[in-house]
Structure 1
Amino acid sequence: MEQEWQTFLYDQLRDQKAIIFCNSREETESTANALKKIARKCKDPDRFLVHHGSVSAQIRERAETKMKSDEKIVICATVTLELGIDVGDLDLVVELGAPWKVSSLLQRLGRSGRVSKVSKMLMIILEKESISNLPQFLMPWDLLQTISMIELYHRRRFLEDEKFLKKPYSLLAHQTLSVLKTYHQLQPNSLVFVVNKK
């Protein structure tokens, strides 16, 4: 049975091209599945796709291609769609849960409103069940974290220092394994070409 926030989110996404940013791969899958289920119940078309590091390159590329079209697609994504990939103009960005960094929050917000010049973000912060009646367990930490990040940027223009690796070998290894999993086998020259294309 869907929860109230899922129904609310579904209603907000009607006739919208949007990305829902989630903090985990599991959350992207469960959110997309919940929205698909509501669409079936309403006899609406399935417009919900996923985009994260554990799905194949073909599934990610299909989602990116559909997002660049005029279709009103909704993608549930992790940081994989935060930057670097052109997804065209979005009507809305949804932040599901507290963001991890101020820079991520701004990058995600900047994904919408490229044509209209008005960025729109819907933030959904879910209340977690308390494991105790002690004050530290009753505090809405995700909500406080989100408010703090907004205040940090709005009042102080604070952004975290970015540390870029000159040679991110871990990223290279991840991309190489992802390509090999997708294509099963490639000659070395073909592998280099496909990985460089990413």
Structure 2
Amino acid sequence: MKLKILIVALILVSISSAQEYHRKEKKDYKDIELKEIVMLISSNFERLEREYLTKLSYRDYNRAKSILIDSYNLLNSIPLNDEHYDELPLPISRSDFNGLIESVKNEGFDSDKLSVISIASDYHYFLVEQVLDLMDLFVMSDSKLEVIKMTYPNIIDKNNNFRLISAFTFSTDKDEVKKIISSYPGN
């Protein structure tokens, strides 16, 4: 158990060190619960895989992928003894989300794409990063706003809402996102 915690701590330190190298600002993670840290690390791993692993050579990609899979397995083996953990929803799995993305891409019209997302949002929870990926499947801001309207009740990392606002260029769209967010209790 102590070894697993030590390994996770080392992973956290290496990830945060890499992030701090590229960023001057430092985030304060002191008040974040363990389950939230695990979710953030998982999100960082997915982003690392999506944005950087694909740019490696075939040999380096296989090595990095192996390390990433081992890290995922270690992360998933951490027992989260939070008594409320079982009550909290988990985001849609990566394989289910990839399937959702493909289903949306296979639709020809925005209205059909939005219907697929609407059905998925009835049964799944999302991370802000995933909602941003869904929004990227649309060109028009009206459709992107619809994605937020459909998925927002099921976003589990609402502390990242600012990223939804930042995804838009025009202030009218940003204001609309703020309205959507503020229309839900607790915001």
Between Structure 1 and Structure 2, the one with more helix by share is: 2
Relative to the length of structure 2, the TM-score reads 0.29
